[in-house]
């Protein structure tokens, strides 16, 4: 194999490697975007769960107060 053939072979391998790295970078970017999106949805759901828990605690307090008032009236 001549020096020119060696250089051409290495250049071809580098081109393939560059292409593979670019594909991997695109896949990593897509994964990161999906992870960010999932995190955002998770945060929204967490906020909704916290709100529902507070509302349930408020309802529980009102039911207890109503039960106490009912007992006192009997």
Task: Encode pLDDT of 38-50 as tens digits.
Answer: 999 999 999 999 9
DSSP letter at 74 equals -
Q: Residue 9: CB partners within 8 Å, gap ≥ 6?
A: 1
Calculate mean pLDDT across residues 16-44: 97
How many Å apart are CA 13 and CA 38, to the nearest integer?
37
Half-sphere exposure of 5 (CA within 13 A, CB side): 2
**Model confidence band, residue 74 (pLDDT cutoffs 50, 70, 90):** confident
**Model confidence band, residue 24 (pLDDT cutoffs 50, 70, 90):** very high
């Amino acid at each position: 194999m001549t020096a020119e053939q060696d250089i051409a072979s290495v250049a071809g391998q580098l081109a393939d490697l560059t292409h593979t790295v670019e594909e991997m970078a695109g896949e990593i970017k897509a994964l990161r975007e999906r992870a960010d999106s999932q995190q955002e949805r998770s945060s929204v759901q967490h906020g909704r769960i916290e709100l529902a828990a507070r509302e349930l605690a408020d309802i529980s307090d009102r039911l207890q107060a109503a039960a106490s008032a009912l007992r006192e009236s009997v």
